[in-house]
Structure 1
Amino acid sequence: MMFFDRALLALGNILFLAGIYLIIGPAKTYVFFSKPTKRRGSVLFLFGIFLILVKWTFIGFVIELLGIMGLFGDFFGIIVQFLRSLPVIGPILSHPAVSPIVDKLAGIRTLPV
């Protein structure tokens, strides 16, 4: 029930942006969000925040998720490779039946054998 609370989502967005700003610095934050390849993700993310602030929380959250996918979609392959190195999840993600599905979802390209 509290998942779509407008105040909590707004606070989470502010803390998320502040965290990125503090981790990579102001110049790199500006460059990251204004890259031509990331512009659509940035616009969707900011529009989602706006919709949350004007009480359209569910629609704003969905649009914000699309923006996050556009901004951070390049990292999914790296995350999957890291998860494959973990003891419990690694063998599951590396299983021959699961691996092609996970690779396709994460956008990992494999060379044909």
Structure 2
Amino acid sequence: MVAITEFQKIGVGLMGFGLFFLLFGVLLYFDSVLLAFGNILFLTGLTFIIGFRRTAHFFFQRHKFRGSFFFLGGVSLVLCRWPIIGMLVESYGFVLLFKSFFPMALGFVLSAVNIPFLKAFVSSSSSMV
């Protein structure tokens, strides 16, 4: 079993609050203050969970540079009070950063949750017959 440090527990809480503020900011018609606060909390929580060096290494890898540029540029646009454009740019950067993770997450969700209709659709689309 993996031991979770106090910093990681704090990071999970910060990320949870960050996601809450991001969702609440979008629901309140892209309130720039809530979105900026959510972005700051999310990035701070990520840093607390995996550490400063690993966070910097994740964002500044050569093959993830474009995704990092769009994601952090979107965060800075939200901080400059352009919330709609900033969230669009940030979302594009998020997809570029985590595009290799999406198939693994989808496979995990399909194996963990037994949804007959969805499983039948995915298994029939992948067969060659």
Tell me the equivalent position of 1:95. 120
Tell me the equivalent position of 2:69. 43
* Equivalent-residue separation in structure 2 for 1:52 and 1:61 (angstroms): 7
Matches within 5 A, 1:18-37: 18-37=44-63
The count of corresponding residues between Structure 1 and Structure 2 is 103
Tell me the equivalent position of 1:70. 96
- Indicate the percent of aligned positions where both proteins have the same amino acid: 41
Tell me the equivalent position of 1:79. 105
Tell me the equivalent position of 1:4. 30
| Secondary structure of the corresponding residue to residue 64 of structure 1 | helix
CA contact (8 A) 1:84 1:91 kept: no
User: Could you report, residue by residue, the CA deviation over 1:93-113 in whole angstroms, capped at 9, with x for unpaired residues?
Assistant: 32236864xxxxxxxxx6967
Give TM-score scaled by structure 2 length: 0.69
Give TM-score scaled by structure 1 length: 0.78
Q: Indicate the RMSD between aligned Cα atoms, in angstroms.
A: 2.3
User: Could you report, residue by residue, the CA deviation over 1:51-85 in whole angstroms, capped at 9, with x for unpaired residues?
Assistant: 11222111111000001111111110111011112
| Secondary structure of the corresponding residue to residue 38 of structure 1 | helix
Q: Relative to structure 1, is the Cα distance of residues 15 and 45 closer, same or farther in structure 2, using a 3 angstrom cutoff?
A: same
* Equivalent-residue separation in structure 2 for 1:53 and 1:42 (angstroms): 16
User: Could you report, residue by residue, the CA deviation over 1:2-26 in whole angstroms, capped at 9, with x for unpaired residues?
Assistant: 1411011111111111121111111
Q: Relative to structure 1, is the Cα distance of residues 8 and 99 closer, same or farther in structure 2, using a 3 angstrom cutoff?
A: farther
**5+ residue gaps, structure 1:** 101-109
